[in-house]
Amino acid sequence: MKNFLQRCLPVLLILVFSTGFSQLRLPAILQSGMVLQQKDSVNLWGWSGPNYKVTVTTSWDNKQYETIASDLAKWVLKVKTPAAGGPYTITLTSGNTIVLEDVLIGEVWVCSGQSNMEWSYHLGVKDIAEEFPTAANPSIRLFQVERTGADFPQDDLKASWAKADSNQLKSFSAVGYFFGKNLHEKMNVPVGLINVSWGGTPAEAWTPEAVIQADPQLQVAAAQQKKVAWWPTAPAKAFNGMIAPITNHGIAGVIWYQGESNTGTYSTYRQLFTNMIDSWRAAFKKDLPFYYVQIAPFKYGTTGIGALLREAQAAAATHPNTGMVVITDLVDTVTDIHPSRKKPVGTRLAKYALASTYKLPIEAYRSPEYSSSVIEKGKILVKFNYAEKGIRMKGVNPEGWLISDINGKNWLVPKIKIEKNSVVLWHPDLKNPMFVRYGFGNTSIGNMESAAGLPLAPFRTDHFPVEQIEEK
């Protein structure tokens, strides 16, 4: 009997380990009801027994894929997705079987940033309430990532996919939803929205630590971010907990609304932001389009200089495959850092994506931007790009304009004349005007727009040091 048990012990141990440790598991983002990126080679991944075979069958083509889990019990394989459609099923087997149902194929976007991206109906967004009666849409799926910081990159997180309806929208990013709704309406495809935003977070928290440590200037700026009790400020903490776990998931691109928490370190923001973008592209292994919102005018006091942060954001728009939307016209009060109207923000982001990423014939998706200026006979002629049909002024009197001489010490409100897509500026007390500012101030809001109603982007032509912008 003893010899029999000794002979059987190895077999019994194998059975114990195979049944107890070979269970197939998937990350939270891979579940029934999810959206996969269309016409792509996307990852499916998870855990199983070490050296166990994993078999995956996709119902859209009945094709079978196989791989072997590593000695760390991890596995990953790529499957080819068709054009948008569904619902489909995915069957995965490795010791046990998991069937993912109601899987849609479409366009998947990450919505990220700080509170203005996070802002929802529950947090005070009013213009989403009008969506509730018709919000139920099984073709728009929402994946809400809970606020989670971590010291090291994580493999998984807690979240679930849900169909868009009035209940789900109450706690989801309003900007993200309006962005996704526009994509769905214009393209007639399923849309998956992954909301990974956290109010108050500086861009450092969303940037891998190695990126910060590789740049002495970014290290100094990161050290200036003071620790607070309600959100992470140290490098990578939000990235590790909320972005790293989803980087295997195939996505179309990213929309971003952040910057308010970096107004105190504006001088390095362009460098930080573009490095962050590149690090996300490396992590997702894709040249992701990155469309972002320029922060709105706000009365910062001595806490930061919003005008210079906006300037850094505008400069970052020259980074490849990026685009910036301007929202200065959506500010009801400069004492609220959260402009209440989110629908036009999401719509403008969507138009940028539809035109630039999807190459649809979308007119006037970019705000007019400063192009050049010519000084002649005591006047400054300023020209603009993206204003082919001209620019116009809202109201009776021009707002937000200042001109100065070569010293930059005496800024005056100029006279103005609009000439289609240019403006002429002068002042009777300024014989030799040299520099122009428009909407350049923490609380400065201009009233110029394109013929399509998009606000003129703030700018300045000088480079004088600015320590603090005077508040209204």
- Omega cis (within 30) before 320: no
Which tens digits make up the pLDDT trace of 256-269?
Answer: 999 999 999 999 99
Q: Whole-angstrom Cα distance, residue 340 to residue 459?
A: 24
pLDDT, the chain, mean: 93
**pLDDT greater than 60 at residue 420:** yes
Q: Which residue from 167, 164, 166 is spatially nearest to 179, judged by alpha carbons?
A: 164
Beta bridge partners of 431: none
Which tens digits make up the pLDDT trace of 24-57?
Answer: 999 999 999 999 999 999 999 999 999 999 999 9
Q: DSSP H helical segments within 234-358, as ranges?
A: 237-238, 269-284, 306-316, 343-356
Fold entry, domain 23-104: Immunoglobulin-like (2.60.40)
Burial class of residue 405, CB neighbours in 10 A (0-12, 13-18, 19+): middle
Q: Can you give the pTM of this predicted structure?
A: 0.94
Q: Which residue in this structure is represented by tokens 């849900």?
A: 162
Q: Give, to the nearest 10 degrees, the angle between helix 174-187 and helix 343-356.
A: 40
Structure tokens at 463: 């480079």
Residue 396: what pLDDT?
86
Contact 149, 237 (CB under 8 A): yes
Burial class of residue 5, CB neighbours in 10 A (0-12, 13-18, 19+): exposed
- pLDDT, average across residues 222-248: 97
Which tens digits make up the pLDDT trace of 429-456?
Answer: 999 999 999 999 999 999 999 999 999 9
Percentage, residues of the chain above pLDDT 90: 88
**pLDDT greater than 50 at residue 273:** yes
Fold entry, domain 106-356: Rossmann fold (3.40.50)
**pLDDT greater than 60 at residue 472:** no
Domain spans of the chain, in order of start? 23-104, 106-356, 369-460
